[in-house]
Structure 1
Amino acid sequence: MNNQIAIGVDVGGSHITSAAVHINKLAIVEESTFSFRVDNKATKDEVLENWGLAINKTIDSISLDRNLEIAFAMPGPFNYKMGIGMFKGNNEKYESLYGLSIPDELSKYLNADKIDFRFLNDATAFGVGVASMGKATTYSKVVAITLGTGFGSAFLQDGVPQVTGDNVPKGGFIWDKPYRGGLGDDYFSTRWCVKRYKEITGKKTSGVKEIADANNDSSKMVFVEFGTNMAEFMLPFLIKYQPDLIILGGNVSKASKLFLPALKNKIEDAGLHVDFEISDVLEEAAIIGSAKLFDSYFWEQVRNTIY
């Protein structure tokens, strides 16, 4: 296994980041991290070429042989078992990759003779990563939530994603569950904050940071609503799962001091006692979490649950 080193890749809507990971230590190899901006509406060849640029930089930065193991933290919709893009009809990202086998096509752009590819949902990869480091390792049942351009989730027990069973939603996903005439993803993301602030003030903003920096009654109202709504939406899932810890990551979580009190209060009022942690290692955690697919013990636990 290349001396227990695999490459982890985090695919975002506007960038790709690649790094080598020590599997035994679950730590990123120094000076192996490279990021490139990507136009997610570009042709498949342009997208894959840019992905290849980042990954090849990582390959060149460290002494890896020509047989590589590469794991991706990939946004959905995606066929994670087969490595096939399912982005058709998605106006935000990577429609040109619809129906494309990433292992077959990306290999053409990589400096390697033989590559073993594995794929994991990006929010799940973040959850696996953060559950494997720091404070979270002392908790058994963890729910990881990513709040950014979209709303991601993962339910983990002893570091392993839970994707089936009566106490978790299928796949561990709740972004697609109905809420107030829409979906969870419509309410717990950057675009809801921007939309709600404009409804209240008539002002258009660039994102959550600008709203938080405004620090006025309107911005405070937005975040209190955000936290209250999020608790209301998540409570049925949390009551079923009974987590010990909830970890929040993503750009919206950087404003957690403004919405976390409302979120915590409503959850506590429902009789659920759970700790919270705000993570500032979203990308690093996703890279480590995806690379962990090449930990043989972990892989045996999850290989049959990836679809």
Structure 2
Amino acid sequence: MQNTDNYVVGIDLGGTKIAAALFDSKGEILNRERMETANARTAQEVVQRMVEMIRSVSQGRTLSGVGLASPGAVNSRDGIVLHGTNLPEWDNVPLKKWMGEALGVEVQVVNDANAAAWGEYVRGAGKGSENMVYVTFSTGIGAGIVLDGKMLLGTSSFAGELGHNIIDPNGPECSCGSSGCWETFASGTAIRDAALQLMQTRSSLITELAASQDEAASAKHVFEAYKQQDPVAVEVVDRAIHYMALGLANAVHTFNPDRIVIGGGVSKAGDLLFPALKAKTEQLVMKPYRGTYEIVPAGLRDDVGLIGAAALFHTS
């Protein structure tokens, strides 16, 4: 009997690690591997490692394709990493061409935020929606957009950089070189920095909570202190929720989604975040948009990049 299963390998490439997984046609993970990237200095060396991982993880099965999620600026149409964030010597790397020639299969390459968005749309919290905005509030703010069931790429595959929408031109300087980008107000880093600034002159539970866990203060500790109604934490979180909602309201007005999926470390605040974020966003959007969308936490966890990369071939 002929084997009609449709095997795909998903790759999640990061600055410190490479994760690979073999998926069957149902999107189930059959095998996985993980490797550090620290000792691979050039793009060619990293690509060779990925090729070896794909051959190993596929265990001799014939593949229908390889989906790859890469950090940085990616030309998805041509499969070229224009600039790899946290990847030295990664400029204009033709991943699709190099890996396709080495493996003899179709390779698709997307930015990691787009991979996460597509994974959530196909197999996660976005499943069943038609128009979805995915936002991850973490060190920065990443996003991916699905409109009418298709990933929005834009002319250069750069669409969806919502974190660098400027919401206050007089705001803090951003790592991108501009000032007042959304992520300078609403990312996990922004929440931490706002708390640290206030704690220069005011005492807070945030310091005690971080010390008790032998960790540097972070957005996680801010939300833990917020749960106990620590005044500094309350001020910081209320401000952050306002700016998070402001950016989401802009996304609602721009894309008219039926679902907004929220991921990233800040989303782990759960009930401390979502009710207030939903209420504030609904307050900020224009009246015709109210009740036309839902805001939900992401459904996929650490495997979202792998799942999204594989889902470039599996869409059912």
TM-score by length of 1: 0.77
Residue pairs, 1:1-307, within 5 angstroms: 3-23=5-25, 25=26, 27-30=27-30, 32-39=31-38, 42-45=41-44, 47-48=46-47, 50-52=49-51, 54-60=53-59, 63-65=60-62, 69-87=65-83, 93-105=86-98, 113-133=103-123, 136-163=126-153, 171-181=159-169, 182=179, 183-202=181-200, 205-215=216-226, 216-270=230-284, 271=287, 272-273=290-291, 274-295=293-314
Query: Hey, what's the Cα distance between the residues in 1 that align with 2:43 and 2:124?
Result: 38
Distance 1:49 1:211, change over 3 A: farther
Q: Deviations over 1:93-149 (max 9, x none)?
A: 1131112222455579xxx64232111222222222112235533332221112223
> Judging changes above 3 Å, is the alpha-carbon distance between structure 1 residues 293 and 196 closer, same or farther for their aligned structure 2 residues?
same
Q: Is the 8 A contact 2:261 2:297 kept in 1?
A: yes
The structure-2 alpha-carbon separation of the partners of 1:201 and 1:282, relative to structure 1 and needing over 3 Å to count, comes to same
Answer whether contact 2:79 2:110 (CA < 8 A) is retained. no
RMSD: 3.3
CA contact (8 A) 2:143 2:161 kept: yes
One-letter amino acid of the structure 2 residue matched with residue 188 of structure 1: A
Distance in 2 (CA, whole Å) between partners of 1:193 and 1:58 is 39
Q: Give ranges in structure 2 of 5+ residues lacking alignment.
A: 170-178, 201-206, 211-215
In 2, are the aligned partners of 1:223 and 1:258 still within 8 Å (CA)?
Answer: no
1:71 Cα deviation from its structure 2 partner: 0.8
TM-score, normalization: structure 2? 0.75
Residue 74 of structure 1 and its aligned partner are, at CA, apart by 1.9
Q: Please give the alpha-carbon distance, in whole angstroms, between the structure 2 residues aligned to 1:256 and 1:140.
A: 25
Question: Rg bigger for which structure?
Answer: 2
Does the Cα contact within 8 Å between 2:79 and 2:94 map onto a contact in 1? Answer: yes
Deviation at 1:230, TM superposition (A): 1.4
Measured at CA, do residues 276 and 236 of structure 1 come closer, stay the same or move farther in structure 2, by a change above 3 Å? closer
Aligned residue identity for 1:229: Y
Q: Alpha-carbon deviations, 1:62-108, whole Å to 9, x = none?
A: x413x6621112222122222222227xxx51131112222455579
1:80–1:2: structure 2 CA closer, same or farther, 3 Å change rule? farther
What do the CA deviations read for 1:5-58 (whole angstroms, capped 9, x no partner)? 1111122343222111224x2x2323x122233339944355445545643442
Maintained 8 Å contact 1:126/1:282 = no
* Rounded Cα–Cα distance in structure 2 between residues aligned with 1:102 and 1:135: 29
Would the alpha carbon gap of residues 37 and 197 (structure 1) be closer, same or farther in structure 2, given more than 3 Å must change?
Answer: farther
Q: Structure 1 residues 102, 241: closer, same or farther in 2, change over 3 A? A: closer
**How high is the sequence identity, in percent, across the aligned residues?**
21
Q: Secondary structure at the match of 1:20?
A: strand
| Counterparts in 2 of 1:156 and 1:50: CA distance versus 1, 3 Å | same
Residues 135, 46 of structure 1: alpha-carbon distance in 2 compared, 3 angstrom cutoff:
closer
| Shift in alpha-carbon separation, 1:116–1:41, aligned structure 2, 3 A | same
